[in-house]
Structure 1
Amino acid sequence: MTRRAVLAGRWLMPALAGLLCAALPSLATAQGINLPAGARQLAERATALGSYAVPLGPASDDGVPARQVEGQILRRSWRISGDATVLQVLAPLRAQLIENGFELLYQCPARSCGGFDFRFDIEVIPAPDMTVDIGNYSFVSAEHPDGRIVSLLVSRSGNATFVQVIEVTPEGVSPPIITDGSSPVDGSSDAALATALPLIGAAELITGLRRNGRAVLADLEFETGAVTLGAKPYDSLAALAEFLIQNPDFDVLLVGHTDTVGSLEQNIAISERRADAVRRRLLADSAVDPGRVSVAGAGFMAPLTTNLTPEGREANRRVEAVLIRR
């Protein structure tokens, strides 16, 4: 049996099942917001100074009305297992915002927001770190008198509820204090890992690798049936290469996934060829040792979302990086 086959058999199913994950926090604390016990943080991305279009109304033919705000931007998402509805999760968060002096700018459930158009015209953390059911989500944006902006996006998908929080803190205002009890994948301290793993390139990819031991290479593009990458550079591959160079104790398994167009056998072959195309690009553009990068194909056996819509099929066509301790 080849080394690639051994690695695929040993690591593919744990990757698909999501078993490579960090310790779960009992309470995730955001600025003025206490998330429900058991909320597991999936992503965190900070921008020292940036611009955010805060939604102010429903989607229309002209898009979603928004106001550009500037400051330190913090984007985070959580997954809450259980039977809680969107409103059961959102209502306490919204109440805490109001209690902390925030004034609501806009709020809406999916249909009132504009459904599909609203979802795809606002900023959303890429799947799988934020999953949005087009027909089952709610949104809230709010502003504090000191200029702080917070937006909440809550959606129910499968057997879990997903929460996205985007905070904008103007210059001169104290930044939010974040307490997160999750542990990095290698068990080292957060302080040490912050030094070893700066958020370079695709910061959400590094966050996913740190917290879960795996991450979607979200900026790669594959059309149905296609197995090659375009010529443009990809931030996710640069970030993955830097991670591997800085962390010689880890190898990586690239796992290809497809939509459901075609047979399972065809899709497994396509997904493995896609993963191999990503491997070749990663090695061509970096100094990573080829022996540290393996590939596998899962076909359509592990979808992120529905395959009944074009948008769902596009999200399911992906390649994930799964860390393997050497």
Structure 2
Amino acid sequence: MGMRGLWIVLCLAAWPLHALQLELPRAATATASRDSTLDQIDIPVGRFADGSLATRQFEGAVTRRAYRINTPGLTPLQLLAPLRTQVEAAGFDLVLDCNQNSCGGYDFRFAIDVLPAPNMYVNIRAFHFVTGLHPTSGEAITLLASAAGSAGYLQVVRAGGGVTPAPVLPAPPVSRPRAQEAADSLSARLLAQGSVVLHDIEFAVGTTSLDGQTSSDLSALADLMAARPGLRVAVVGHTDTVGGLEANITVSRARAQSVRNKLISDYGVSAERVEAEGMGYLAPRASNLTAEGREANRRVEVVVVGEDGE
């Protein structure tokens, strides 16, 4: 076993390719998993370009695993290269092998299937992605590695096996691929949980302007509010702990107000149905002691306030 003492074996015995038992870094700690015995998933087979991501749909069992490696100073390629070698040795053809620049940057990151932060952290400035397809079994595997200053992160997704995949077809140009799936998920989560994070709303550091951004999350929210005309929500901004509390509350409130204004002006939601508030750093989702935790805490949420007529 190569790099003895540094790697552990990840055995997914339920998969058809029993020979592929990935050796992960021994320091890897599992942080999240999501399995489906029968599912459909769009596997990236090309870079994000011309407003869309080329994918191939796989049907069958799907497993998703995320890991944190508490070793500072690693690069994404250092994390991913040994796994890539194992995947090739198991007979997979690498149809996509790219980094944060060649994959398509921000657009690629938010078009792919990623387990939620802080369990899987993706540094926009430092990630590497690989897709492998097996020519005989019909199985697909994707590897995503990312690095922050204090730790590295890995995600392994395996799909299909014994099912002939659909042809490769680029998705139509939309603000985010799989827009309808995302819309259905956002609406269901908001109604069930009472709040939801708008993942495709991004503010540049120190700014409160959306700069003409489009948002499939806001579109989904507007559709939900059109379908339920009595629903009232609050848009709530959150920050990390960099800076003072009052300054962060001011910034978070201004960002929430920008989102509220966009809902009203671009999506036709009545102003009386949307509030805007700022919490600064008073409601964190993760520790502010790490870069990945601070990124998870910088967010805009929508909270259900009530529904008229109930």
TM-score range, shorter chain: 0.5 to 0.7
1:258 corresponds in structure 2 to 238
CA distance in 1, matches of 2:117, 2:150: 16
Per the alignment, do residues 147 and 67 of structure 1 end up closer, same or farther by CA in structure 2, a change over 3 Å counting?
Answer: same
- What percentage of aligned pairs have identical amino acids? 35
Within a 5 Å distance, the mapping from 1:1-326 to structure 2 comes to 27=8, 29-31=10-12, 32=20, 33-82=22-71, 83-144=73-134, 145-170=136-161, 220-221=196-197, 258-260=238-240, 263-264=244-245, 297-298=282-283, 302-303=287-288, 305=291, 313-314=298-299
Q: Is the 8 A contact 1:155 1:161 kept in 2?
A: yes
- Secondary structure at the aligned position of 1:135 is classed as coil
Per the alignment, do residues 148 and 300 of structure 1 end up closer, same or farther by CA in structure 2, a change over 3 Å counting?
Answer: closer
CA distance in 2, matches of 1:218, 1:128: 20
CA distance in 1, matches of 2:117, 2:247: 24
Amino acid at match of 1:155: S
Q: Deviations over 1:58-88 (max 9, x none)?
A: 1112311111111100011000111322111
- Secondary structure at the aligned position of 2:65 is classed as strand
CA distance in 2, matches of 1:90, 1:264: 39
CA displacement at 1:318 relative to structure 2: 9.9
Hey, which of these two has a bigger chunk of strand by percent? 2
Per the alignment, do residues 263 and 307 of structure 1 end up closer, same or farther by CA in structure 2, a change over 3 Å counting?
Answer: farther
Q: What is the RMSD of the two structures over their aligned residues, measured on CA atoms?
A: 4.4
Q: Deviations over 1:241-264 (max 9, x none)?
A: xxxxxxxxxxxxxxx992159951
- TM-score, with normalisation over the residues of structure 1? 0.51
Q: Is the 8 A contact 2:237 2:299 kept in 1?
A: no
Q: Structure 2 regions of 5+ residues with no counterpart?
A: 1-6, 13-19, 165-184, 186-192, 209-220, 225-235, 253-280, 304-310
Q: Deviations over 1:190-212 (max 9, x none)?
A: xxxxxxxxxxx9xxxxxxxxxxx
Per the alignment, do residues 171 and 146 of structure 1 end up closer, same or farther by CA in structure 2, a change over 3 Å counting?
Answer: closer
CA distance in 1, matches of 2:155, 2:107: 18
CA displacement at 1:109 relative to structure 2: 1.0
Q: Deviations over 1:165-201 (max 9, x none)?
A: 110133589xxxxxxxxxxxxxxxxxxxxxxxxxxx9
Amino acid at match of 1:163: L
Q: Is the 8 A contact 1:153 1:164 kept in 2?
A: yes
CA distance in 2, matches of 1:55, 1:124: 12
CA displacement at 1:297 relative to structure 2: 4.2
Q: Is the 8 A contact 1:138 1:155 kept in 2?
A: yes
CA distance in 2, matches of 1:146, 1:57: 21
CA distance in 1, matches of 2:195, 2:131: 27
CA distance in 2, matches of 1:125, 1:172: 24
Hey, which of these two has a bigger chunk of helix by percent? 1
CA distance in 2, matches of 1:129, 1:167: 18
Amino acid at match of 1:314: R
- TM-score, with normalisation over the residues of structure 2? 0.54
Amino acid at match of 2:8: L
Amino acid at match of 2:299: E
